[in-house]
A and B are shown apart, each in its own frame.
Chain A
Amino acid sequence: MISLEKRLAPSTSASILSPIIAITLTIICGLLMIQAAGKSPSEAFDVYFLFPFNDINTYLKTAPEDRGGLLYQPAEVLVKAIPLALIGIGLAIAFRAGLFNIGAPGQYILGAIFAGGVALHVPEDLSRFIVLPLCLIAGALGGLLWALIPAFLRVRTGANEILTSLMLTYVAALLLDWIVRGPWKDPAGFGFPQTPDFPESAIMPIMLEGTRLHWGLALVLIIFAVLWFILSRTVTGFRFTVTGLAPKAAHFAGFNQRGTVYLVFLISGALAGLAGAIEATSTIGQLQPEISAEYGFAAIIVAFLGRLHPVGILLAAVVLAITYIGGENAQISLGLPKNATLVFQGMLLLFLLACDALIHYRLRWRTRRRA
């Protein structure tokens, strides 16, 4: 019989090492899985992890005037990492406070809808410097309002926020579906369920020519700097941590529990909404039924892989982005199914949680005693 025994002092270095061990285990098991599927593991490793960065070498060797487009693949990793990081840090704040906002995909969708609403309804000739910020603010507001629902239900009725926020995800998806098929459907779209393209003034400008990397990256870095400061240097950040670790002590410290619930959901909802708005105004440029809302779930892995810490989350977002890009590449060049990416992400979370469990607990084998 195996039992788990709490360790007296969990090691700090182990808790930082745990994501690295989890990633290594995921790679090993993933390659075994690929071998079992009859493909070459070495080739798969190459496609998954090296291919996105192959071009960097070429880029460095090429004369500056011929470099255009060579960074496309590495830039794609960052493009995917942007929404993952934004949602991830919002979720990390919620998780720190012991509140499980699982509804990020819904908040992300509402962010996209609100941003789209602004983009599609502002006068055409308005400057980008007004329209784009308006879209982003509207997006954050959309996510925030959607996140208020589970917060309100939790505070008023004690409803479990995991369930309510998760269920609202499906409501949001159906809402988007209805909007793009109904009221905002592109009249010139040949009946496809999509809105018209956003006007140029509502499109995120490109940061690096020849790639899809946009200025959202800069915005993310600024937001991370601000959040890092709030989390590590202000009473608000302290409040979240205290609430998560010991609600009773938080109450004693004078941190109003209801206020914390609202604040946490507002922040994480706004960040998920902002991610949706950025995605809609950059890579997609319109609303359609499928806007990669699953980033909202993948961001849960990002938050835990990044140890709920801003710097860790930035790195973790890149790791998760690589699994997306690698998955796409493997689909093309190896013929692996798209779901392989989900399997990888699932394994990653599983190994991470297992590692964390072993940091806090030790296994003890007991011999079963006969009565």
Chain B
Amino acid sequence: MGQNAGGKGGVTGSHGDAPLFEARGISKSFGDVAANKNISLKVHSGEILALLGENGAGKSTFVKMTDGVLRPDSGAFFWNGKQITIKSPAAAKRIGIGMIFQHFSSFEALTVLENLALALPQRSLRAIRRDVAEVSERYGLSINPKRRVERLSAGEKQRVEIVRALLQKPKLLILDEPTSVLTPQEADGLFATLDSLAADGMAMIYISHRLNEIKELCDSATILRHGEVVGSCDPRSTSVPEIAEMMIGKTADPIDRAGAYVGGPRLVVDNLSVPAKEGVSLKKISFSARRGEIMGIAGIAGEGQDTLFAALSGERRTPKAKSIKIDDQPIGAMGPTSRRRKGIAFAPEQRLGHAAIADFSLSDNLRLTRHAMREFSNRKRRAQSLKIREDYDVRSSANDPKAGTLSGGNLQKFVIGRELDRQPDVFIVAQPTWGVDAGAASSIRNKLLSVAERGGTVVVISQDLDEIFQIADRVAVLHRGELSLTHLVDDMTPDKIGMLMSGEDINSVSKDAIAQNFTRKRATRITETQEETSPAETRITDEQVKDPTQREAPASVVQTPQPAISPVITSSSMTSSITPPPSKPASQPSQKSTPARRIFVSGNVSTPWTAPEIIQKGTVL
């Protein structure tokens, strides 16, 4: 049927002008709320159109209509110039529209292959398996067709969605945030795929909040705000701030990383091994997070992030209490409530069903994590949740709305606000901006930065590399339940992190660069902080820094900074990577757009973590 429609279009229409797919004056209301108002857009074969908009701008409603889940109140869709009615998702597939939804639509109890077979009832399992292998290989989407979907990580589930859509050989592919769980290399691979699909004549509507991606990939962009098309542009010639401004109607909050104190270690994870009940087991994880910094844990989906978060939050007790310490006190045996009382706050990845309960009002959801600290009366709780909604810009028309009625971005702002409102010393957050629009994401990131600025410690477990580069000071990468060494973010490039994400050792290639960079930074710091140097501080000179005995100084590669335990965990790779090499002319690759502007200066260099921390006000480079 899809072929027929395409064929006719080819015969009757002048192929150059008629778009493959066109929406004319689409409107859709739910009760009094107009979700889409008079939306018109066109996609030609071989074109990648970006559909941009904040959460609640009406993208999902529009996409559901193109998939036949919803029907427009007015307006019409055209396929090769011919009006079509999309009655159901099955009809959309027959026409040739393939969907990759943000939310997964696989049957948990079935295997990957069975799920794919459900979408392709006319094909044999064997043929599908062959196609899966081919598509996986070609597009770098590795999945094991025999595994049950419930055992897959979020990232793997998304790959299933992508493969399923590709197997149906659509003419128009609609992708909703498809790269959120991919490594940069995988994302590049996907972009290459999408480019080659476009070259083969596939039309695509690409929804993403990552404006950089859209600039890289898309030929044109249509921007929605409050259910209406507010503009379109050529993303290649329009700047990111300009696009963002069109999206949210004002300039997005710039991420401000100025001035921070960085002190001694606060949260120390030492040789943490946790067998997984489901998912990936943690193997000998060690890292530390210090006062005034954001520690990033990168990694693609399903590499043990869930287990790590559970171990940090106390949902999983660790086999050894000493594996996790806060201010030198072992907390591994404590449950979430006791840990909260120690001043740690947590925000998990999954918003509904984990961080919050859909059927509960926000004030009741407040109680979920606050009962540990203090019980409020219902009235006070409502006042408190109202305050959080104001402080964190949680938008909803209702007085005390149920969590399930908020958009993803607004709910996430509430979940983050709920925890930050009580001024935690340590904040552990997984995927803080997953599926959140650009405006909400930058506001959340700024809130995280402000925690670090007032001397708090933030651990961000994120699959979003842009995010890590934007806000983290140091980063370690999780791969199959093991954590890489910790690196200064300034020393990393997406490529290097990508290599760590796929389990490769970057030390061999980057050793020189890291050490070089380290030397350079140290020198800069001294010159910049000389005036403010306190008596207790030891001057750091290039000579000292180059001395191999100064291993435990806060170098580019920082292992768990506990003198008592560091010999145990010292590995050969670590030693090699932090031993500064002979000076070479610095050849710094340009690494990323926003350089870190924080500076840490520690007191006594030879035993930096036992001496009282001397915290130096950071200076903007």
Contacts and interface: CB of A to CB of B under 8 A. Distances in A.
A9 B405 contact: yes
A253 B353 contact: no
A251 B315 contact: yes
Nearest to B334: A254
A242 interface: yes
Interface in B358-385: 358-360, 364, 367-369, 371-372, 375
Contact of A256 (B335, B359, B368): B335
B354 A249 contact: yes
Contact of A249 (B314, B337, B355, B375): B355
A246 B354 CA distance: 7
Contacts of A248: 350, 353-354
A254 B357 contact: no
A252 interface: yes
Interface in A142-173: none
Contacts of A253: 336-337, 368-369, 371
A126 interface: no
Contact of A235 (B335, B350, B371): B371
B346 interface: yes
Nearest to B91: A369
B183 interface: no
A221 interface: no
A245 interface: yes
A249 B405 contact: no
A256 B337 CA distance: 10
B141 interface: no
B368 A252 contact: yes
Contacts of A242: 357, 368
B335 A252 contact: no
A242 B372 CA distance: 15
A251 B354 CA distance: 8
Given A9-B405, A238-B367, A252-B346, A246 B337 contact: no
Contacts of B358: 246
B173 interface: no
A238 to B, nearest CB: 6
Contacts of B375: 235
A238 B371 contact: yes
Contacts of B338: 254
A96 to B, nearest CB: 12
B332 interface: no
Interface residues of B, number: 28
B524 to A, nearest CB: 43
Given A238-B367, A245-B359, A245-B360, A254 B354 contact: no
B236 to A, nearest CB: 39
Interface string A240-273: 0010011011011110100000000000000000
Nearest to A250: B368
B354 A252 contact: yes
Interface string A1-45: 000000001000000000000000000000000000000000000
A254 B355 contact: no
A252 B372 contact: no
A252 B337 CA distance: 9
Contacts of B314: 254
A202 to B, nearest CB: 41
From A238, A242, A249, A369, residue with most partner B Cβ within 10 Å: A249
A245 B314 CA distance: 21
B214 interface: no
A252 B336 contact: yes
A248 to B, nearest CB: 5
Interface in B391-432: 405
Contact of A252 (B355, B359, B405): B355
B457 interface: no
Contact of B313 (A235, A246, A249, A252): A252
Contacts of A251: 315, 336
Interface in A34-71: none
Interface in B156-208: none
Contact of B335 (A9, A246, A249, A254): A254
Given A253-B336, A254-B314, A246 B372 contact: no
Contacts of B217: none
A254 B353 CA distance: 14
B561 interface: no
B27 to A, nearest CB: 19
A371 to B, nearest CB: 9
Contacts of B315: 251-252
Nearest to A366: B88
B356 interface: yes
A245 B357 contact: yes
B348 interface: yes
Contacts of A246: 353-354, 357-358
Nearest to B87: A369
Contacts of A369: 90
B225 interface: no
B340 interface: yes
Nearest to A232: B378
From A9, A242, A246, residue with most partner B Cβ within 10 Å: A246
A254 B340 contact: yes
A238 B363 CA distance: 12
A364 B368 CA distance: 36
Contacts of B336: 251-254
A257 to B, nearest CB: 10
Interface string A188-199: 000000000000
B354 to A, nearest CB: 5
Nearest to A248: B354
Contacts of B357: 242, 245-246, 249
A97 B274 CA distance: 29
B118 to A, nearest CB: 15
B445 to A, nearest CB: 23
Interface in A210-259: 235, 238, 242, 245-246, 248-249, 251-254, 256
A248 B371 CA distance: 16
Contacts of A245: 357, 359-360
Contacts of B348: 252
Nearest to A251: B315
B598 to A, nearest CB: 31
A242 B356 CA distance: 10
Contacts of A249: 353-357, 368
Contact of A254 (B90, B372, B405): B372
B246 to A, nearest CB: 30
A235 B378 CA distance: 12
Contacts of A238: 364, 367, 371
Contacts of A254: 314, 335-338, 340, 371-372
Closest 8 CB pairs of A and B: A254-B337, A254-B336, A253-B368, A246-B353, A248-B354, A235-B371, A246-B357, A251-B315
Interface of A: 9, 235, 238, 242, 245-246, 248-249, 251-254, 256, 369
Interface of B: 90, 313-315, 335-338, 340, 346, 348, 350, 353-360, 364, 367-369, 371-372, 375, 405
16 contacts: A245-B360, A246-B357, A248-B353, A249-B354, A249-B357, A252-B315, A252-B336, A252-B354, A252-B368, A253-B371, A254-B336, A254-B338, A254-B340, A254-B372, A256-B335, A369-B90
Given A246-B357, A254-B336, 12 more contacts: A9-B405, A238-B367, A242-B357, A246-B358, A249-B355, A249-B356, A251-B336, A252-B313, A252-B336, A253-B337, A254-B314, A254-B371
